[in-house]
């Protein structure tokens, strides 16, 4: 009899901790939503004054009135470039908070991979030339169109390309586009410093760099790959990395023909 009592007591205690756990979970979910909303609003509010600062520093750097010294022009340029870094960081934080709070809205349009590759090739050509690197495009002729968000696709590829150029001092960077299953694989290969096998997971974590530190030895926000990987998930695709220390890296984004569950409308049934 006392055993039955003991069992009942234990059952009650269990039910109590379960209720507490549920309450805590609800509370945490609410707090996390508040936090994401706060960060989103904050990022938005920060951009307005920062844009004014960027415009004014540009005007100063252009020295329209011809009354600034070379030194003062350099100061204005430094203000502008730091402002741009800050804007990039704010935009990245805004993206992360949108992803976390499930508020990242994605477009879905027919996208021509060849056109995207050509546009990015043009956009990064100068940067490659300045570093003495060769930037080449290889687009397989049978690459199909896909349904995706072109802006977010470009964002991921820009991240790959700017990293490839940043971490390569000699050789070449190649953007390849080719069919993969019914979708498309976009890869950026470089002949740069490469990433140690044991760091290849970490580079996709926020604020991490491949040397395991969170210091920004190479500049950049350290958020690019973390955002890219989450965007790839949202687009129904994935990112893979092949690299060896000292031998370069290849980042590949594979996207499906169309996002899961919203593929092309099924063909109409034949008339009876």
Q: Is 156 one of the binding residues for ligand ADP (CB under 6 A)?
A: no
CB of 174 to ligand ADP, least distance (A): 12
Measured from the CB atom, the residue of 225 and 239 that comes closer to ligand ADP is 225
DSSP state of 66: S
Q: Is 232 one of the binding residues for ligand ADP (CB under 6 A)?
A: no
Q: Find the binding residues for ligand ADP in span 19-58 (CB under 6 A).
A: none
Q: By CB under 6 A, which span of 98-106, 137-145, 162-170, 261-269 interacts with ligand ADP?
A: 162-170
Query: First and final CA of the chain: distance in angstroms?
Result: 72
Q: Is 225 one of the binding residues for ligand ADP (CB under 6 A)?
A: yes
**244 sits in which H/E element:** strand 238-244
* Cβ atoms < 10 Å from Cβ of 29: 10
Measured from the CB atom, the residue of 60 and 229 that comes closer to ligand ADP is 229
Cα separations in angstroms, 210 against 159, 207, 213, 251 = 15, 10, 7, 14
Name residues whose C-beta falls within 8 Å of residue 140's C-beta, 6 or more positions apart in sequence. 176, 177, 178, 179
Per DSSP bridges, beta strands 172-180 and 134-139 are parallel
**Residue 109 dihedral angles phi and psi, to the nearest 5°:** -140, 160
Among 97, 143, 249, 252, binds ligand ADP (CB under 6 A): 249
Q: How far apart are CA 211 and CA 202, in angstroms?
A: 10
Residue whose beta carbon is closest to ligand ADP: 220
Per DSSP bridges, beta strands 248-255 and 238-244 are antiparallel
Measured from the CB atom, the residue of 36 and 209 that comes closer to ligand ADP is 209
Concatenating the DSSP letter of every residue in 76-106 gives HHHHHHHHHHHHHHHHHHHHHHHHHTT----
Among 224, 236, 237, 259, binds ligand ADP (CB under 6 A): 224
- Contact pattern for ligand ADP over residues 191 through 220, marking x by CB under 6 A: -xx-x-------x-----xx-------x-x
Q: Is 187 one of the binding residues for ligand ADP (CB under 6 A)?
A: no
Q: Which residue in 91, 100, 123, 88 sits closest to 29, CA to CA?
A: 100
Among 97, 221, 252, 254, binds ligand ADP (CB under 6 A): 221
CB of 137 to ligand ADP, least distance (A): 17
Q: How far apart are CA 187 and CA 169, in angstroms?
A: 19
Q: By CB under 6 A, which span of 106-114, 124-132, 188-196, 263-271 interacts with ligand ADP?
A: 188-196
Q: Is 75 one of the binding residues for ligand ADP (CB under 6 A)?
A: no
Among 68, 150, 167, 179, binds ligand ADP (CB under 6 A): 167
Binding site for ligand ADP (CB under 6 A): 159, 163-164, 167, 190, 192-193, 195, 203, 209-210, 218, 220-226, 249
């Amino acid at each position: 009899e006392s055993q039955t009592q003991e069992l009942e007591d234990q059952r009650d205690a269990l039910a109590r901790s379960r209720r507490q756990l549920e309450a805590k979970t609800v509370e945490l979910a609410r707090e996390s939503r508040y936090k994401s909303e706060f960060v989103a609003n904050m990022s938005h509010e920060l951009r307005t004054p920062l844009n004014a600062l960027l415009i004014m520093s540009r005007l100063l750097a252009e020295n329209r009135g011809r009354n600034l010294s070379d030194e003062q022009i350099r100061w204005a340029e430094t203000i502008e470039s730091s402002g741009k870094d800050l804007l990039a960081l704010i935009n990245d934080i805004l993206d992360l908070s949108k992803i976390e709070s499930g508020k990242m809205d994605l477009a879905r349009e027919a996208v021509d991979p060849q056109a995207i590759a050509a546009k990015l090739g043009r956009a990064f050509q100068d940067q490659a030339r300045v570093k003495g690197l060769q930037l080449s495009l290889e687009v397989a002729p049978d690459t199909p169109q896909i349904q995706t968000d072109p802006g977010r696709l470009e964002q991921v590829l820009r991240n790959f390309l700017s990293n490839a150029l940043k971490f390569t001092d000699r050789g070449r960077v190649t953007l390849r586009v080719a069919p993969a299953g019914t979708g498309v694989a976009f890869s950026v290969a470089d002949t740069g410093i490469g990433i140690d096998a044991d760091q290849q997971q970490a580079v996709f974590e926020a604020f991490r760099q491949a040397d395991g530190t969170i210091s920004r030895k190479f500049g950049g926000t350290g958020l690019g790959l973390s955002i890219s990987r989450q965007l790839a998930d949202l687009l129904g695709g994935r990112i893979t990395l092949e690299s060896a220390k000292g031998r370069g890296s290849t980042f590949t984004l594979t996207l499906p023909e169309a996002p899961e569950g919203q593929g092309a409308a099924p063909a109409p049934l034949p008339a009876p």
